Amino acid sequence: MKRKVALITGITGQDGAYLAELLLQKGYEVHGIKRRASLFNTQRIDHLYRDPHDTGRKFVLHYGDLSDSTNLIRIIQQVRPDELYNLAAQSHVKVSFESPEYTADVDALGTLRLLEAVRILGLEKHTRFYQASTSELFGQVVETPQTERTPFYPRSPYAVAKMYAYWITVNYREAYGMYACNGILFNHESPIRGETFVTRKITRAMARIKLGLQDCLYLGNLSALRDWGHAKDYVEMQWLMLQQDAPDDFVIATGRQHSVRDFVTMAAAELGITVRFEGTGADEKGYDANTGQCLVAVDSRYFRPTEVETLLGDPTKARERLGWQPRITLEEMVAEMVRCDLRDAQRDALCKSEGYTVFDGNE
Ligand code: NDP
Ligand code: GDR
């Protein structure tokens, strides 16, 4: 049988890396679009990469950008993918308030550019399309838990841009008969999550505090509630959605909800630290219950102009139609993230003790 060909935008990101690994395991030829950067930006996929001079390789990277239709058309023409996964985005909600136009260009129009490229090349009956939609679409939630039928109420430039992407995907499915799907994914994390998203920021800081590399972790809204799953589980669903008889949209979530404060408590507990929270709102602090050291403080610069206070997904449709359910629990994920960040912190502590300068990377 002919080997299937997949093209992944955002392959250098968290989900792109896990999805590429999954598809290679399944025997796909995997192509990815990476952005030109002044430094290497392929750390998450380097373990999959083979010598670019090897002609038999099944993993190929192309330079490109979602803001450039000519280059997207050229890559899609060259690759002629059976499956196209659009994971690329300016994906940080807080940053989208600072770069709203760029976020709209990449997250909203970037999706349109890909769909149009597929159509222009006459591949609309050949290429199956996955759009990385998001629970942020629900924003100011009007019902709990959220399902595929819950009305959207986006609360950031990021979410508004993703709302355009959601509907243009639905529209191309209905207008041109494309096999195009939205995965409405709730937050998913892992040891390779970007360091400025709250879960990774917490596990990384707690590990560094434990080793004396950092004193305090500054966070924003500790009361925000999220439904957190593991990225490795969620990319499997992205693939499953493109293997059905007919295209559809699915909510992917765990159905469990925790606060940012709970996540801090869980991560600290993995390191043998008990955190006691005192105060409220901007004055809340978290102390080491044994030593009294202040470990966590609220800094209002991490507040968002409009916040998404609570998200909780109902994945019943995905479970029933795709036979999908998450395998990795939140507790297992927190333990894995802390373990990996502790290893990195140990390396940094060693370098520091040998007199090398260590980049703290705090935001
Ligand atoms: P990441 O931020 O880790 O990765 C984003 C990827 O998009 C990176 O490869 C990045 O490249 C690339 N990218 C950014 N801008 C452009 C551009 N202009 N042109 C081409 N590529 C670009 O995100 P995740 O892996 O966590 O998420 C994947 C997708 O899923 C995103 O679309 C996100 O919005 C969405 N999503 C994520 C959820 C989550 O909880 N993780 C939940 C729901 C949806 P570079 O490495 O160079 O920065
Ligand atoms: P989110 O994830 O905005 O849900 O978007 P993030 O981890 O950034 O925030 C989750 C919640 O934590 C609160 N928070 C903080 N967030 C960050 N980043 N830094 C802090 O210091 C901090 N303190 C508290 C936030 O206010 C928020 O309520 C993620 C992204 O991956 C999106 O691309 C994706 O679409 C959604 O998840 C689903």
| For ligand 1, atom 19: residue with the closest CA | 65
State pLDDT tens for residues 204-237.
999 999 999 999 999 999 999 999 999 999 999 9
Model ipTM? 0.99
Residue 359: the pLDDT is: 79
* Mean pLDDT in residue range 19-48: 96
Please state the rounded mean pLDDT for residues 116-139: 98
Going by CA atoms, what residue is nearest to atom 40 of ligand 1?
187
Helix ranges (DSSP H) in 242-278:
260-270
Q: What is the pLDDT of residues 244-301, one digit of tens each?
A: 999 999 999 999 999 999 999 999 999 999 999 999 999 999 999 999 999 999 999 9
Ligand nearest to the CA of 93: 2
What is the pLDDT of the chain when averaged over all its residues?
96
User: Between helices 14-25 and 231-241, what is the axis angle to 10°?
Assistant: 60
Q: How far is the CA of 346 from the centre of ligand 1 (A)?
A: 28
Q: How far apart are CA 193 and CA 56, in angstroms?
A: 31
Q: What angle do CA 226, 151, 323 make, to 5 degrees?
A: 65
Domains in the chain with CATH codes? 5-185 (3.40.50.720), 198-225+258-306+330-354 (3.90.25.10)
Give the ligand at the shortest distance from the Cα of 88: 1
Nearest CA to ligand 1 atom 30: 132
Cα-to-centroid distance, 360 and ligand 1 (Å): 23
For the annotated catalytic residues, the residue numbers are 134, 136, 158
What is the reported pLDDT for 55?
66
Cβ atoms of residues 188 and 233 within 8 Å: yes
Query: How far does the centroid of ligand 2 lie from the alpha carbon of residue 93, in Å?
Result: 7
Nearest C-alpha neighbor of 58 from the set 67, 46, 50? 50
Among 269-278, 309-318, 348-357, which is the least confidently predicted range?
348-357
Task: Say which ligand is closest to the CA of 132.
Answer: 1
Distance CA 108, CA 96 (A): 12
Atom of ligand 2 nearest to the CA of 200: 7
Contact 287, 295 (CB under 8 A): yes
Q: Relative to the CA of 159, which ligand 2 atom is closest?
A: 35
Q: What is the pLDDT of residue 362?
A: 65
Question: Which amino acids bring their CB within 6 angstroms of ligand 1?
Answer: 9-10, 12-16, 33, 35, 37, 41, 65-67, 87-91, 106, 132, 134, 185, 187-188, 194
Cα 197 to ligand 2 centroid, rounded to whole Å: 5
In whole angstroms, give the CA distance from residue 252 to residue 134. 9
Name the residue of 18, 91, 92, 93 to mutate for ligand 2: max ligand atoms within 8 A of Cβ.
Answer: 93
Contacts (Cβ under 8 Å, ≥6 apart) of 72: 33, 64, 66, 113, 114, 117
Nearest to 265 by CA among 342, 196, 194, 338: 338
Ligand 1 atom at minimum distance from 10 CA: 9
| Å from CA of 260 to ligand 2 middle | 9
List the one residue out of 258, 299, 260, 296 whose CA is nearest residue 276. Answer: 296
Ligand 2 mean position, distance from CA 261 (Å): 13
pLDDT (0 to 100) of residue 52: 66
In terms of C-beta distances under 8 Å and separation of at least 24 residues, what long-range contacts does 145-149 make, across chains too?
A: 145/253, 145/255, 145/312, 145/313, 145/314, 146/251, 146/253, 146/311, 146/312, 146/313, 146/314, 147/251, 147/313, 147/314, 147/316, 147/317, 148/184, 148/249, 148/250, 148/251, 148/317
